[in-house]
């Protein structure tokens, strides 16, 4: 690391929030802050503004000033970084920091889960993505955004639920407490469901996942069916990572963590507990060059 660097900054940025953590070179926490979205697919400038704001807040908490920015190595674990054009659009922007490295939020989470060492994770939250880091190489499965990918995540589970609710309205499948819950959510207005679907975001579909888990525990047939499908999707991604050489896999995210009891015993035996989170991984990125692409390449 360049000898002018005195501070390590980790950034975990997604579609909902951006978290910043400042540490000294020994890893001691100096300051933390949280701001808005830092998914670079939503705009390189929007993401950088959130990052700059989070770093400024964490800097103040650490009793540092903007004069210290040039002494900071910043590790960015950001959603959307897997898109090459978006990566270059972001990295072309000037920053005041001493060093900047950019990779995906999944990469940061994987580094954090395995203490900066090789390993595999499967993230299952609103979306889903699997990554296996082996000898400096990234092997990624899924993560191509809802609705064409993200099986095993809450958004796909919610989409399937809405489809089944409409089938129940048509009398094709039986109504259950879960279908009644969703219909009540929309005031039993089918047109409202159709209108909502035209602009619904992944998080809007994912909002139904807590009720799916709750009613599955009460024996709701549709809820159980949806969780069984989500478990099969989770195992599909796990098998893909195993095929690429992974032995143990950390399951991370609200859905992946809760789906574990629904997995088959052989797959449960493949599960490892994460040592840390994406913030820990971003700090590890700040210690060295973890750029997803070479800065010298053309976009």
Mean pLDDT of 43-48: 94
Number of folded domains that form the chain: 2
pTM of the complete model: 0.83
One domain, residues 96 and 177 = no
- Residue 229 inside a domain? The answer is yes
Asked if 263 and 234 touch (Cβ cutoff 8 Å), the reply is yes
Give the pLDDT confidence of 214-226 residue by residue, as tens digits: 999 999 999 999 9
One domain, residues 93 and 15 = yes
The DSSP secondary structure of 209-230, one letter per residue, reads HHHHHHHHHTT-HHHHHHHHHH
CATH number at residue 258: 3.30.420.40
Give the pLDDT confidence of 229-277 residue by residue, as tens digits: 999 999 999 999 999 999 999 999 899 999 999 999 999 999 999 999 8
One domain, residues 24 and 85 = yes
One domain, residues 237 and 281 = no
Give the pLDDT confidence of 134-152 residue by residue, as tens digits: 998 999 999 888 999 999 9
One domain, residues 195 and 164 = yes
- Residue 296 inside a domain? The answer is no
Task: Report the C-alpha gap between 109 and 185 in whole angstroms.
Answer: 34
Asked if 81 and 72 touch (Cβ cutoff 8 Å), the reply is no
Domain that holds residue 75: 7-115+276-286
- Residue 228 inside a domain? The answer is yes
Asked if 153 and 206 touch (Cβ cutoff 8 Å), the reply is yes
Phi first, then psi, for residue 106 (nearest 5°) are -65, -40
- Residue 69 inside a domain? The answer is yes
- Residue 88 inside a domain? The answer is yes
């Amino acid at each position: 690391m360049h000898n002018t660097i005195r501070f390590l900054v980790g950034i975990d940025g997604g579609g909902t929030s951006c978290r910043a953590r400042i540490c000294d070179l020994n890893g001691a926490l100096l300051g933390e802050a949280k701001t808005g979205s830092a998914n670079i697919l939503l705009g390189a400038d929007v993401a950088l503004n959130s990052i700059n704001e989070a770093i400024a807040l964490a800097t103040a908490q650490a009793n540092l000033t903007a004069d210290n920015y040039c002494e900071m190595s910043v590790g960015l674990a950001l959603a959307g970084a897997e898109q090459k054009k978006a990566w270059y659009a972001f990295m072309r922007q000037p920053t005041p920091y001493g060093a900047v490295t950019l990779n995906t939020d999944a990469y940061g989470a994987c580094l954090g889960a395995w203490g900066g060492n090789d390993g595999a994770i499967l993230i299952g939250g609103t979306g889903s993505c699997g990554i296996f880091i082996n000898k400096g190489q990234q092997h990624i499965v899924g993560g191509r955004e809802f609705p064409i990918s993200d099986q095993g995540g809450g958004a796909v589970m919610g989409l399937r639920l809405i489809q089944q609710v409409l089938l129940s309205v048509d009398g094709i499948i039986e109504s259950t407490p879960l279908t009644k819950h969703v219909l009540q959510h929309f005031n039993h207005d089918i047109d409202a469901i159709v209108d909502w679907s035209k602009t619904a975001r992944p998080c809007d579909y994912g909002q139904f996942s807590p009720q799916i888990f709750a009613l599955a525990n009460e024996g709701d047939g549709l809820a159980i069916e949806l969780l069984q499908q989500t478990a099969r999707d989770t195992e599909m991604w796990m098998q893909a990572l195993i095929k690429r050489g992974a032995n143990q896999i950390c399951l991370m995210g609200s859905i992946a963590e809760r789906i574990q009891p629904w997995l088959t015993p052989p797959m449960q035996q493949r599960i490892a507990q994460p040592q840390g989170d994406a913030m820990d991984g971003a700090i590890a990125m700040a210690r060295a060059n973890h750029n997803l692409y070479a800065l010298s390449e053309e976009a």
